[in-house]
A and B are shown apart, each in its own frame.
Chain A
């Protein structure tokens, strides 16, 4: 049976890995190629790169980093950040990305989802959704002011859209997304655990895989996201970059709790 995936995430700015809290206060966390290779060797099931600088002047830097990373890892690589046109997708795939994550541009122009899925197939397309819980919101109904409980934000979390995150996830699934990368902005970098209500509602509401993101601080948080939240994959950054836990420790813990994972030593040295 399919294993739940563990995905270290590298937020990349100016060609370096950085990590912030709730999308601000960035600090340097290393060289992306080295980090990705270490995680891949250590049993990560995929690697995700989010270019949070994402200015078009820096595109060549990112493409170079993607190309060197793709050469250094033996697992799928997802790259996102600043993807606004099909040409951006083509450049990233040519540089060696296996999947491309689209966020703000998909909100601005949902037809982009259909265009990308139509050209390269839905398996290359991850739609990243950054959601923030609105004050007074209650999952059973609408928010206090009649707006959505979970609102979609774009532009690195700076811009509210008024869109209901759950409905938006269902829309992108229908339009051709192959997977949803769901980040709770409230939890991002806090180490307080995934927003399980958000994760569970989206995971149950769409028929495509959902990657939970934002908030992991303990091993139990990851188990909760996968089991209670119903996510297909768990993405985390700080715990790996700060050396709090290794991928092997995460997988060892999950396996001990009965969660199906790919063993970290699987296939090592296997030869035909």
Chain B
């Protein structure tokens, strides 16, 4: 019998981790929720979910997680960021000017404009961007294209555009997933994206190993 891969879900006190925990378990992992920086430092794999506001995320980093996460990323600990856990990898966000993300990737998180229009009907698009959308890319795990569940009002704009491995379309293309080294981060919610989400979590567990 093979051991279930261990994965630590980082609890930054931002919203509900239950669906992430359940989805990782269903994908074959043995997830534990951690909230202490020492536990982050010791993790074999990190999953950083997050709903809510960038400022709260930055504050949670300042309460002791900034160094632990930065060091873990530096060591090549596999990291899966979801939504705010993706935003937090960047330097700053329009959502909370002055608040500092991890700065692992250069770039900003910017507001989805309510001036975006549907490319077919011309209708003004709603914000938050909420619901199922297609993510496509040139490489795994997005080379097949697939539908994922989104709910967000801000998007990441990496300075290095080659980081973007999955994009989606909402009145223009936006960055739906980034990947670099042992870091994978997505704007959508794999834990709410049924079969596709399940496949993405399995992909992370299978292909992302500690360096």
Contact = CB atoms under 8 A, between A and B. Distances in A.
Given A1-B120, A2-B170, A121 B134 contact: no
Interface string A87-127: 00000011011100000000000000000000011111000
A146 interface: no
B66 to A, nearest CB: 21
Given A123-B128, A207-B124, A75 B192 contact: yes
Interface in A232-247: 232-233
Contact of A123 (B130, B132, B195): B130
B59 interface: no
Interface string A253-271: 0000000001100111111
Interface residues of A, number: 40
A1 B130 contact: no
A13 interface: no
A3 interface: yes
A193 interface: no
B206 A121 contact: no
A37 to B, nearest CB: 12
B19 A98 contact: yes
Contacts of B195: 74, 266-270
B15 A120 contact: yes
Interface in B1-59: 15-16, 18-19, 22, 51-53
A70 B19 contact: yes
Interface string B167-207: 00110000000000000000001001111111111111011
A208 interface: yes
A178 B131 CA distance: 12
Nearest to A67: B18
B22 A1 contact: no
A96 B151 CA distance: 17
A26 interface: no
Contacts of B203: 272
Contacts of B119: 1
Given A76-B149, A179-B130, A262-B132, A1 B169 contact: yes
B129 A2 contact: yes
Q: Is the interface of A mostly helix, strand, loop or mixed?
A: loop
Q: Which of B53, B126, B197 has the most chain A CB atoms closer than 10 A to its own CB?
A: B126
Interface residues of B, number: 52
B197 A74 contact: yes
B124 to A, nearest CB: 7
A184 interface: no
Contact of A272 (B18, B150, B199): B199
Nearest to B23: A74
A148 interface: no
Contacts of B133: 1-3
Contacts, number: 129
Given A3-B132, A266-B147, A270-B146, A121 B196 contact: no
Interface in A163-211: 178-179, 207-210
A40 interface: yes
Contact of B193 (A3, A122, A267): A267
B128 A178 contact: yes
A70 B18 CA distance: 9
Contacts of B138: none
A144 interface: no
Contacts of A5: 131-132
Contacts of A178: 128, 130, 151
A262 B132 CA distance: 7
B16 to A, nearest CB: 4
A262 B147 contact: yes
Contact of B132 (A2, A71, A209, A268): A2
B134 A270 contact: no
Interface in B56-76: none
A2 B207 CA distance: 29
Task: Give 6 closest A-B pairs by Cβ, nearest first.
Answer: A272-B203, A267-B195, A267-B196, A74-B194, A121-B52, A272-B202
Interface of A: 1-5, 40, 45, 70-71, 74-76, 93-94, 96-98, 120-124, 178-179, 207-210, 230, 232-233, 262-263, 266-272
Given A233-B131, A267-B198, 19 more contacts: A2-B125, A3-B132, A3-B133, A3-B147, A4-B131, A45-B132, A74-B193, A74-B194, A74-B195, A120-B15, A123-B128, A123-B152, A179-B128, A232-B131, A263-B147, A266-B146, A270-B195, A270-B198, A272-B201
